[in-house]
Chain A
Amino acid sequence: MRRRRGRLDLTTPTLLGLPVAWLVVFFIVPIAIVAAYSFDVYSLFPGKHGFTLAAWREFIHSSVYLALFWKSVKMSLIVSAIIVVLAYPLAYYLALSGTKRKYVLLLVLIAPFLTSYLLRVLAWKVILGNEGVINTFLFWTGLRSPGHPISQLLYSRFAVMLVLGYIWLPFVALPIFVSLESLDRRLLEAASDLGASRLQAFRRVTLPLSLPGIMAAFLFVFIPTLGEFITPSLVGGANGYMYGNQIVDLFGTGFPDWETGSVLAIFLFGVVTVLTVVFARFLQPRQVTAG
């Protein structure tokens, strides 16, 4: 059999060229522009410009921005932790209970995630308001008197975290499911043969082996929610304001404070990149594809 190895290699640049070029031009370069903007090496508005760390210095010294970032980190951590803990038993049930329709049920679980994000946030806006579904239901059934609704449901940090959790819950079950599914049952059987109880088997075998899935799940929800701005702007009110909102506001006004906005954006990007690199081994493509 003849193997035309030489010719095989020539086509690789042709194949990869276009996708890679696309990403370089429309992904890498734009981010570089933002970075340049944050150092005032580049600007779209008239005035004196030159490399300066002024915007970055202000970002670090002013107590406002980092505090806002930390607030967003806390909110994202709480949401991510809760829904990963909630998703684990769901994935466990699907993967290890031997149910015949596990893929169907998985689809049932994941499907809402694949429908519209905004519309699901809308649903909660409808549910949580003072005259929304929950409150009017409570009035109707007499559990609360009209005129005394539970006010803090909407336009609060709680609302933001609840909605974000709701949005991402289906998605985080997936990587955990994948890692549990690929678990070799015989390991569990071996553990049992060696006298381990179910709980011990879980703690010593299942849990550690599914750790990559858990980490992947956690990162898949933590990273996007860190930069969230849509949900906070719809249900967060003044209190649920997050880091992403500040970036949008700084760019959204007709007024050029794009420099500060760029600094905030690059900082977020930097943090996310560091997280991704550090936990890279958990974010294998295998974690996301199922079946």
Chain B
Amino acid sequence: MTEGEELFERRISREDLLKLAAAAGGAGLLAGRAGAANAALERLAKETGRLQVLDWAGYGNDGGQAMFAQYVKTHPLNKPKFTYMGNEADALAKIHAGLKPDLFRPYVGWVKYFATSGLVQPWDTKLISNFKNLNPFMVKAGQYQGKQYGIPDDWGFDAILYRSDKVKPKAKSWSLLFDERYKGKIAWFDDIEMLTIAGLYLGFKNTWNQTDDQLKRSQKLLISKKHLVRTNWSSETDLWQLFGSGEVWIAYAWPNDWVQMKKKGLKVVYMHPKEKPIAWVGMFMLLKGSSRPNLSHAYVDAWSSAKSAKWLEDNYGYGHANTVARPSSSDLLRALQLTNPRAVTEPNAYLDRDIPRRALYAKMWEQVKAS
């Protein structure tokens, strides 16, 4: 806190100094004074301490080291310190509880929410050298009112994972999550997204902004099918445990879950339903009041490099917004449509987006769990 205040005061002095120099007139004077002042203040205003990162499990020192290895090399004194977020709502709760991260990573559906929340500030894309290689469509998705609030990085889909040796779906559809034949073998995701999926299945035009009536129908569907569900998973490792031990044969899942289950030797299929899967893009966001904005930009730059991108695609089965990167496996390439720059949008998928009535969706989902 004090750090930030000190920084703030120094910035003011720098501006005052520049104004003084300009007022005194003379380009030389300006250049000389400002240059010297800049240099001096730059040294004083150096960001210190470890970079506080709030990220999902698997992206910190618990396996994601390759993603920010470049950053650690160039900034050994400001190594990142991780706190884990279970999901965006959890991150929000942690920030409210007093956690002060420098940056965190919500997903594309929350860009508008956080941009208007007053909790984040836009990035200075000039400070990110790899920015030019990022998928322009995803870059646009991270903007709000022209400012770049989110830097896209990983992307993937929400779709259905199932055991091909145990399950024969009747159709390539979200209906598999509601299939009566597999009672007790299905896992849903513990999130309001289940309402969105119900809406897709029921054919609503804008499932992210359903009318009261539509929401009631979605909720009714979920409640009526709840008896088929073994459990609602909230962290991927839960899902891997359930799937791996055979407790569950069908689940809402992300591409990395498919990769991990294949690694375990299970016969699994990652199905893109005909009603279209939902696509997501991870967005780095910079918190307002962060005392390490430059370090944060450097961290994001490392994450956005082609090297990190390739590692992500090879190891986590997710796409990366860096269009220059290519994973080693062409199987994976094809399966995840990594060469398709518009993979995350129609006609391939629906990009996840802001939910204006999130509180109501949240309430409805809690009621589904309670039924």
**A152 vs chain B, min Cβ distance (A):** 7
* A151 contacts across to B, CB distance below 8 A: 184, 247
Known: A254-B90, A255-B362. A238 touches B370 (CB 8 A): no
- Cα–Cα, bound, A256→B359 (Å): 8
Residue of B226, B245, B366, B367 near A131 (CB, 8 A) is: B245
Segment of B44-52, B127-135, B228-236, B298-306 engaged in the interface with chain A: B228-236
User: Contact between B184 and A260 (Cβ–Cβ < 8 Å)?
Assistant: no
Does A130 count as interface, using CB distance less than 8 angstroms? yes
Q: A130-B245, A237-B231, A238-B188 are in contact. Are A257 and B359 (CB under 8 A)?
A: yes
Given A68-B370, A129-B245, A131-B246, the answer on whether A254 and B96 have CB atoms closer than 8 Å is yes
Q: Does A64 contact B (CB under 8 A)?
A: yes
Contact B230 A155 (CB under 8 A): yes
- CB of B20 within 8 A of chain A? no
Is the Cβ of A238 less than 8 Å from the Cβ of B246?
no
Q: Is A253 an interface residue (CB 8 A)?
A: yes
Kindly identify, within residues 290 to 317 of chain B, every residue whose CB is under 8 Å from any CB belonging to chain A: none
Give CA–CA (A107, B184) in the complex, Å.
Answer: 41
Whole-angstrom distance between the Cβ of A78 and the nearest chain B Cβ: 20
* Complex CA distance for A68 and B371, rounded to whole angstroms: 6
Q: Which of A67, A152, A249 contacts B184 (CB 8 A)?
A: A152
Knowing A65-B370, A246-B370, A254-B96 are in contact, say whether A238-B231 is a contact too (CB < 8 A): yes
B interface residues with partner A (beta carbon < 8 Å): 88-93, 96, 184, 188, 226-227, 229-232, 245-247, 358-359, 362-363, 366-367, 369-371
The residues of A with any CB-CB pair to B shorter than 8 Å are: 62, 64-65, 67-68, 129-131, 147, 149, 151-152, 154-155, 237-239, 241, 245-246, 249-250, 252-257, 260
Q: What are 18 A-B interface contacts by the 8 Å CB criterion?
A: A64-B367, A67-B370, A129-B247, A130-B245, A237-B230, A238-B229, A238-B230, A238-B369, A239-B227, A239-B229, A241-B369, A249-B369, A253-B90, A253-B93, A253-B362, A255-B362, A257-B362, A257-B363
Given contacts A65-B370, A237-B229, 6 further A-B contacts (CB under 8 A): A130-B247, A131-B246, A147-B246, A152-B184, A238-B369, A257-B362
